[in-house]
Amino acid sequence: DIQMSQSPSSLSASVGDRVTITCRASVPIDNYLNWFQQKPGRTPKLLIYGASNLQNGVPSRFNGSGSGTDFTLTITSLQPEDVATYYCQQSHSVPIFSFGPGTRLHIK
Amino acid sequence: EVQLVESGGGLVKPGGSLRLSCEASGFTPSNFFMSWVRQAPGKGLDWVSSISASRNFTYYAESVKGRFTISRDNSKNSLYLQMHSLRAEDTAVYFCARSYGFNTFYYAMDVWGQGTTVTVSS
């Protein structure tokens, strides 16, 4: 099974900051990597698919990059509404998926 | 509007059974991979099971293999998760999700239901 890890597990930043979340796969997964945002009490929302492709309607301040085993989600200018937990997910072994443990993002 | 609505959650004793349903609207679920994902209280997302689009091949996480069965009824635009031999660690919100093939090969869960809560406790 492909295992996913994320760092940091929790992050606090100020409005306007550049924020970076890292995801690592246990084996190379090319660019079969998705990012989700889950706000408190809400359903997960797809942000990025294929490592770097922005889902329709997602603000352009969200960027994804990486390939192989190491991936990054960047928020270029943090906004108050970005408070959420962010999960990476591999789709290399679809339809068997696996998620990272999540990164909880707070505002300072 | 594309939508998924789950139902069937509840309180069940350890060793008991429960059947979750997920009704789709605004699209034809038989054309998509469909999955169940769960989230234990205060924990992260955990993939449970998927069913393929055309031939209904099924796939399960090791933690539920042999206890859970995923199925679909195309005439009702519905997805199901039959759960047996339930354990305390199965307590979670269960989401159904559609997997869309972006550019035909980047699969991602682009539509999610609101979830249904399963509590396993004596």
> Which chain A residue's Cα is nearest to B113?
A43
Average pLDDT over residues A55-59: 96
Considering only the beta carbons, identify the residue of A34, A43, A85 that sits closest to B112.
A43
B4, pLDDT greater than 80:
yes
In chain A, what residues touch B52 (CB-CB under 8 Å)? Answer: 95
| Per-residue pLDDT tens digits for A9-40 | 999 999 999 999 999 999 999 999 999 999 99
Residue B89, burial from CB neighbour count under 10 angstroms (0-12, 13-18, 19+): exposed
Decide: A71 and A23 in contact? Cβ < 8 Å. yes
End-to-end Cα separation, chain A, in angstroms: 37
Q: Nearest CB to B47: which of A43, A55, A97?
A: A97
Q: What percent of chain A has pLDDT over 90?
A: 97
Mutate to test the interface with A, among B109, B116, B117 (most CBs of A within 10 A): B109
CB A43 to CB B33 under 8 A?
Answer: no
CB pair distance less than 8 Å for B107 and A91: yes
Which pLDDT value is given to residue B105? Answer: 83
Angstrom CA distances, A40 to A35, A37, A44, B27, stand at: 16, 10, 10, 28
